[in-house]
Structure 1
Amino acid sequence: MTDAITQLKDDHEKVEKLFKKYEDTTDRAIKTRRKLVDQIIEELSTHAAIEEQVFYPISRVLSDEAHDQTLEGLEEHHLVKITLAELETLDPTDERFHPKVTVLMENVRHHVEEEENDLFPMMRETFGRNDMSDLGAALDEARSTAPTRPHPASPDAPPANLVTGLVAGIIDRIRDSIPG
Structure 2
Amino acid sequence: MTTTTTAKKRDTDGRFKKASNGTTSNANLGVIAGAATAGAAIGMLAMLGRKAAVQAPSALAADWAAALALEHKAVLKIFDALEATESRNTTKRSILLAQMKHALAKHDVEEGNVIYPALREAGRTEEADHLTKDHGYIKQYLYELENMPKDNPEFLTKLRRFRADIEKHMTEEETELFPSLRAQLSDEKNKALAAAMNKEGFKVA
Q: Deviations over 1:68-123 (max 9, x none)?
A: 22211111100111221222333211333222222211111010011111111111
Corresponding residue for residue 167 of structure 2:
109
| Corresponding residue to 2:109 among 37, 49, 52 | 49
What is the CA-CA distance between 1:33 and the residue it aligns to?
Answer: 2.0
Secondary structure in structure 1 of the residue aligned to 2:121: coil
Superposition pairs of residues 93-172 of structure 1, within 5 angstroms: 93-146=151-204
Corresponding residue for residue 176 of structure 1:
none
Corresponding residue for residue 147 of structure 2:
89
The whole-number CA distance in structure 2 between the counterparts of 1:124 and 1:116 is 11
Q: Which runs of 5+ in 2 are unaligned?
A: 1-58
Amino acid at match of 2:98: D
The whole-number CA distance in structure 2 between the counterparts of 1:89 and 1:138 is 34
Q: What value does the CA root-mean-square deviation take over the aligned residues?
A: 1.9
Secondary structure in structure 2 of the residue aligned to 1:145: helix
The whole-number CA distance in structure 2 between the counterparts of 1:4 and 1:141 is 12
Amino acid at match of 1:112: M
Could you state the TM-score of these two structures normalised by the residue count of structure 2? 0.64
State the aligned residue count.
145
Q: Deviations over 1:23-44 (max 9, x none)?
A: 2223333222222111111111
Superposition pairs of residues 70-89 of structure 1, within 5 angstroms: 70-89=128-147
Could you state the TM-score of these two structures normalised by the residue count of structure 1? 0.72
Q: Which runs of 5+ in 1 are unaligned?
A: 149-180
Q: Percent identity?
A: 26
